[in-house]
Amino acid sequence: MPRARHTPPLQTLRGILRQPDTHAGWLYLKPGDWTLDTTGFFYGADIDLAPEDEAALRAQLEAAGWVCTVSSEDIEDAIANTCDQLDAPSDAELLRAVRYFYDHDAFMDWDAPHQP
C-alpha cells in the first residue's frame, strides 16, 4: 500500500473562501464545527496511482482523522450562488453557504424563512 507523501499545507477556511478559484481537489477538514479559522487542505487524486492505491491513500487520510468534505468546485459554486443573492457577502455568510451545501447537498436560498 502506498504511503501518503505528506499532508499538503494547511489553510484557513477564511483564506480558502477569499480565493476559491485557486484550489483544486477535495477539501479535507478535521471533524467538528467549522469556523473561519478552521484549517484544512485540498487533496486531488493522483492519476499515476492504481485506483486501489489511490483509495488506500484516502483511507490513510481518514485514519489520521481527516474528513473529506466538499470539492473546490462545490465551494466556488456555493460562493457564486451566495454572491448572486447577497450584495458583498461576509466571510461568515460564505462559510455558512459552504457548510449548508455540505450538510444538504443544495445551495442556500437566502430569502427562505427559517434557513438554518
pLDDT for 66: 95
Q: Where in the chain are the domains?
A: 11-103
Indicate whether 7 pLDDT > 80: no
Give the model's pLDDT for residue 45: 78
Please state, in angstroms and rounded to a whole number, the distance separating the CA atoms of residues 35 and 73.
20
Q: What is the pLDDT of residues 24-72, one digit of tens each?
A: 999 999 999 999 999 999 998 778 888 888 888 889 999 999 999 999 9
Q: What is the pLDDT of residue 2?
A: 47
